């Protein structure tokens, strides 16, 4: 195998780089580095198939490399943001799995970092960063979806604990999680936004019941969660009492960003939003001899253009984050755009498949996968905040349009009529 130049040579030096590279050589199978150097994707995929990703993530997390900019006592290495970016760039160039499963790292960790005291950070962050505790999100309720601040799950203080009662729904991978981001009402006498507190709930605690829901594609992904006299230590309280809504906005901002990014180099079925990527849809058109059809070419070019514009907008958001600027309107804008473009692309695929999208051989795994991915993407305009709500956010917070009138603004939550 002929080797090219070191692809990581352009990564800026950072404290502990030699230590990290030694750790990688000790963890990864023989031939990994050679495959990275030579850009041998086939060899790398074969090596990846033999990895147990959680073990790799656990070792990197234990050594502080999953979030190297976090303090050492919180599971990081205490690096500056620039040095941390260099370390994470190195891991990306090595194509090493370094993100714990679940929503802990992208959603819970930034919220804990911003809102929690040191004791809570020391308690919750290290097992999150090693993947020992996988996180899910307990925000939505049967009566509090789009208007999430009207939530009715309660948390009543009892000494050094809180007693939680209520119901949550649409909890992604709640059946596999050890921890949950939970928002609950702690002051029913306050207006709805002011009486909420944010907790890190132990999903293994007594009184937590998880019931699985099957989605339209036949996948077990969502859950409803029932909370009956669940006791939560005050040490697991992530936000100050009554500031849970503000903390939740940190999480939701991160979620919109996560749900609006461009695809990584991986299978479409692993994409967070589901659906097939543009090259795969183009391949179907080519295989079926449809690329000479002017109408097909037009819809494919429109889809390609939308995908490129989305990628540039997402890159702008990433650049803001890298420069230390606060999250801008790009999160909501790209969330709407991603849902539209992803759904439209799958609709194009169904048109290209024609009758094969309606009836196919049960043994045809590939055809079944196309349909499953199409069905999965129907949720794109709902999950993480509906596209209608995101348009309201853009209108009010970006364009400065007047807010919708709320006749109960400032009224105590317990005095607001509910159906």
Give the pLDDT band of residue 304 (cuts 50, 70, 90). Answer: very high
| DSSP notation for 289-354 | T-TT-HHHHHHHHHHHHHHHHHHHHHHHHHHHHHTTPPP-THHHHHHHHHHHHHHHHHHHHHHHHG
Q: Give the end-to-end CA distance of the chain in Å, rounded to a whole number.
A: 68
Give the pLDDT band of residue 266 (cuts 50, 70, 90). Answer: very low
Question: Which of these, 90, 135, 93, lies nearest to 110 by C-alpha position?
Answer: 135
Predicted confidence (pLDDT) at residue 253 exceeds the cutoff of 60: yes
What pLDDT does residue 403 have?
Answer: 87
Using one digit for the tens of pLDDT, what is the confidence trace for 235-246?
Answer: 999 999 999 999
Domains and CATH numbers, the chain: 17-99 (no CATH), 135-244 (2.40.110.10), 260-382 (1.20.140.10)
d(CA 200, CA 379): 26
Using one digit for the tens of pLDDT, what is the confidence trace for 139-161?
Answer: 999 988 878 999 999 999 999 99
What pLDDT does residue 319 have?
Answer: 76
Question: Catalytic pick from 255, 271, 330, 383?
Answer: 255
pTM reported for the whole predicted model: 0.83
Q: Output the average pLDDT for the chain.
A: 89
Predicted confidence (pLDDT) at residue 273 exceeds the cutoff of 80: no
Count each helix (H run) and each strand (E run) in the chain, helices first.
Answer: 13, 7
Residues forming a β-bridge with 185 = 154, 196
Average pLDDT on 51-68 reads: 96
Using one digit for the tens of pLDDT, what is the confidence trace for 385-417?
Answer: 788 888 988 898 888 899 888 888 899 999 998
Using one digit for the tens of pLDDT, what is the confidence trace for 159-172?
Answer: 999 999 999 999 99
Average pLDDT on 56-67 reads: 97
**Can 388 be counted among the known catalytic residues?**
no
- 128 burial (CB, 10 Å; 0-12 / 13-18 / 19+) is buried
Predicted confidence (pLDDT) at residue 261 exceeds the cutoff of 50: no
Using one digit for the tens of pLDDT, what is the confidence trace for 63-93?
Answer: 999 999 999 999 999 999 999 999 999 999 9
Give the pLDDT band of residue 33 (cuts 50, 70, 90). Answer: very high
CB 141 within 8 A of CB 152: yes
CB 154 within 8 A of CB 182: no
d(CA 292, CA 280): 17
Total Cβ atoms within 10 A of residue 32: 20
Predicted confidence (pLDDT) at residue 1 exceeds the cutoff of 60: no
């Amino acid at each position: 195998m002929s080797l090219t130049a070191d692809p990581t040579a352009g990564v800026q030096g950072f404290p502990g780089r030699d230590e990290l590279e030694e750790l990688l050589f000790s963890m990864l199978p023989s031939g990994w580095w050679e495959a990275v150097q030579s850009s041998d994707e086939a060899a790398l995929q074969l090596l990846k198939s033999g990895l147990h990703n959680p073990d790799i993530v656990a070792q990197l997390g234990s050594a502080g490399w999953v979030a190297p900019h976090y303090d050492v006592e919180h599971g990081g290495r205490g690096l500056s943001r620039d040095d941390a970016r260099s370390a994470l760039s190195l891991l990306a160039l090595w194509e090493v799995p370094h993100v714990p499963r679940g929503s802990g790292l992208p959603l819970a960790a930034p919220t804990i970092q911003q809102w929690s005291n040191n004791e809570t950070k020391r308690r919750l962050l290290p097992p999150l960063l090693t993947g020992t505790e996988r996180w899910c999100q307990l925000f939505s309720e049967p009566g509090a979806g789009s208007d999430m601040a009207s939530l009715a799950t309660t948390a009543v203080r009892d000494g050094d604990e809180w007693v939680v009662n209520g119901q949550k729904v649409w909890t992604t991978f709640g059946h596999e999680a050890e921890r949950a981001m939970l928002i609950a009402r702690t002051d029913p006498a306050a207006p709805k936004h002011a009486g909420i507190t944010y907790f890190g709930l132990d999903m293994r605690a007594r009184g937590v019941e998880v019931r699985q829901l099957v989605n339209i594609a036949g996948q077990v992904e969502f859950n409803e969660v029932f909370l009956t006299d669940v006791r939560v230590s005050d040490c697991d309280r992530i936000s100050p009492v009554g500031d849970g809504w503000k903390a939740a906005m940190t999480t939701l901002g991160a979620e919109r960003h996560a749900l609006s990014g461009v695809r990584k180099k991986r299978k479409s079925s692993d994409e967070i939003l589901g659906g097939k990527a543009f090259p795969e849809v183009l391949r179907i058109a080519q295989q079926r001899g449809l690329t000479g059809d002017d109408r097909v070419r037009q819809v494919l070019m429109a889809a390609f253009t939308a995908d490129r514009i989305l990628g540039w907008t997402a890159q702008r958001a990433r650049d803001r984050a890298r420069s230390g600027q606060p999250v801008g309107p790009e999160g909501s804008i790209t969330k709407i755009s991603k849902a539209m473009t992803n759904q439209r692309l799958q609709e194009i695929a169904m048109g290209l498949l024609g009758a094969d999208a309606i009836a196919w051989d049960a043994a045809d795994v590939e055809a079944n996968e196309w349909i499953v991915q199409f069905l999965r993407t129907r949720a794109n305009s709902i999950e993480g905040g509906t596209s209608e709500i995101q348009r309201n956010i853009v209108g009010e917070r970006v364009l400065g349009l007047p807010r919708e009138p709320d006749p109960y603004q400032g009224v105590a939550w317990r005095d607001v009529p509910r159906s």
